[in-house]
Amino acid sequence: MVYRSNPGRRAGWRRAAIVFFLTAGVWLPGGHPSLIASDPPQPRLGMNLSGPADWNTELPFVDVFRLSRRWISQRRGAGWGKGPELALDEHGWVKRLEPNCYAETLLCTIRGGHYPSGRYTVFYDGRGKLEFGGAARVIQSRPGRITIQVDSNRGSIFLRLMQTDPSDYVRNIHVIMPGFEKTWQ
């Protein structure tokens, strides 16, 4: 008996080997150039951020009012936070103030100047009087818009609602970081 190999069978194995190596060349490291990224993609969302708060070093919003504390009721001549209960609307805006009282909140209480210094733009709706203290001082004011100069090395920003009209109370406050006043929305 003479053993003869089947030429068709040998060609089938050759084809299978060629297909295997071509496929492996695409998927193995150093494979097809179109599959090798030149630069890794840039993430669009940060991970491991702390929750929004005035004391965190992360500043995920250009509107730093979104990081502020709840309104603190103050009475002139009394201790910190010793004012009467505040009349708030369903969104947390102060609807009216008692005589000799004001509402206050803190922004950017980050130690060591870890937030931008510069000119911040404050937008708001309604009628009333806002004052700033701590690291902020008013340099320009007109109804609905205030420009403040902030020196982050001087500590926190204090925002005080000194007066508000109960029929058109101050609301929708936005404190926009420098350079974003035209693009923040």
> What percentage of the chain exceeds 70 in pLDDT?
74
Record the tokens describing residue 10, joined without a space: 């040998």
Q: Give me the residues paired with residue 96 across strands.
A: 87
Element (H, E) at 127: none
Tell me, what's the pLDDT at 43? Answer: 64
CA distances 59 to 46, 54, 99, Å, are 11, 9, 36
Whether 21 shows a pLDDT value over 80: the answer reads no
Tell me the pLDDT tens digit for each residue of 28-58.
555 555 555 567 777 666 666 677 777 777 7
Q: 97-151: per-residue pLDDT in tens?
A: 999 999 999 998 887 778 899 999 999 999 999 999 999 999 999 999 999 999 9
Closest CA to 121 of 175, 47, 45: 175
DSSP tag of 34 = G
